[in-house]
Amino acid sequence: MKILAQITSIALLIVVAQVMTVSAGEVLLNVKHTPQVDVENGIGLYIVDTHGNKKENWDPTKICGPVCVVIEASYLNNFNPSGNGVKGVVDWMVEKKFKLDDTNDYGKGVNDYYGYNTRYSQLIRILKEYYGLQGMNWLQGDSDENILAIKFSLENNKPVIIGTYTKMINSGNNGHFMVVDGLRDTNNDGDYLDGDDEVHVVDPGRSVGSGKHLEWYKVSQLRNAWTGVLVYIPIALYSNNTTNQPILTRYNQSANSGHPLGNPKDNGGGLYVHDWFGITLQDFYGDNTGFYHGNTSIIENTGTGYLLKEGFWDYFFS
């Protein structure tokens, strides 16, 4: 069966101003950095050390999550990340009364823009409501599938946000968010899963002067220190970022019944929900679907999503 090729919006999202490097065994998006303490631009305060030297006070800062969102959005929406951009996001969070608990409450005010702890669900909300960016989903914990989801996102020109710890060391350090914009396959086996493979981060918790704000880490260190990843997975999305609710409902039903379908796959019609000879569908591939192979599709018909799998999928695509 011949599948009609379509131009997806991914091609439209690759903006000339962004510099994406793809070579054998490496993908690097070259995402720009902005720090979570930037006193000259009104984020944080100076202190005077015991030698009488004035320096930025980084100790109280908890604003890594919103800063990572600004860094992520700056790449996708093609603007320069800045302290003013960070303040705009925090002011919006205060206006919307973002709340975690009695001690971590953006409704109390900007707190010199040192901020309060944030959850991944709140980062998704900022991306959607403040920047108009959809398709970001949180994958919990460490797994090969989550590493491959990072690869999938980067290869589609989308940086990701990881939950980890400061300096990517989980012993004695605070929780932290960083942006991942690159992967390096050091032994060229194609999977980025080996401990000596490398991941490139944009770390808002490091100043430019530290020389550590853009850093390669071993994948083994990442996997020992991360709690999850916020990746671009356009589940049930059309190329214009609107949602096909029947497909989304069926996708979630399958996951809840022990048959996760994995990530969208381009079988010739693109990654997004698309039309094929009058049929509305989205294709998926996963390694742990619980079916005898990983290829599935969800077809929408009269407001209901139907799963095409196993022998039916083979017949349909033969």
**Residues 253 and 224 placed together within one structural domain of the fold:** no
**Contact by Cβ (8 Å): 153, 232:** yes
Q: What is the pLDDT of residue 311?
A: 78
**Residues 286 and 224 placed together within one structural domain of the fold:** no
Question: Based on the structure, what is the number of domains in the chain?
Answer: 2
Q: How far is CA 149 from CA 2, 45, 232, 283, 290, in A?
A: 28, 38, 8, 16, 18
Q: Which residues contact 34 (CB under 8 A, 6 or more apart)?
A: 67, 70, 71, 74, 81, 82, 83, 85, 86, 204
Of the candidates 171, 198, 232, which is a domain's last residue?
232
DSSP 29: -
The pLDDT tens digits for 173-204 are 899 999 999 999 998 887 888 889 999 999 99
From CA 250, how far away is CA 244, in angstroms rounded? 10
**Contact by Cβ (8 Å): 201, 167:** no
Return phi, psi of residue 4, to 5°. -70, 130
Three-point CA angle 40, 31, 142, nearest 5°: 110
Q: What is the pLDDT of residue 288?
A: 77
Domain membership of residue 166 as a residue range: 19-232
Task: Output the six-digit token pair for 53.
Answer: 């030297």
Return phi, psi of residue 126, to 5°. -60, -45
Q: What is the pLDDT of residue 109?
A: 77
Q: What is the pLDDT of residue 314?
A: 79
The pLDDT tens digits for 1-29 are 333 333 233 333 333 345 566 566 899 99
Q: What is the pLDDT of residue 1?
A: 34
Indicate the average pLDDT of the chain: 87
Q: What is the pLDDT of residue 7?
A: 27
The pLDDT tens digits for 91-126 are 999 998 888 766 677 877 788 999 988 999 899 999
Angle, in degrees to the nearest 10, between helices 64-77 and 83-95: 110
Q: Is residue 199 part of a domain?
A: yes
The pTM is what? 0.79
From CA 92, how far away is CA 84, in angstroms rounded? 12
| Averaged pLDDT, 279-308 | 90
Q: What is the pLDDT of residue 11?
A: 32
Q: Is residue 4 part of a domain?
A: no
Q: What CATH number corresponds to the domain at position 96?
A: 3.90.70.10
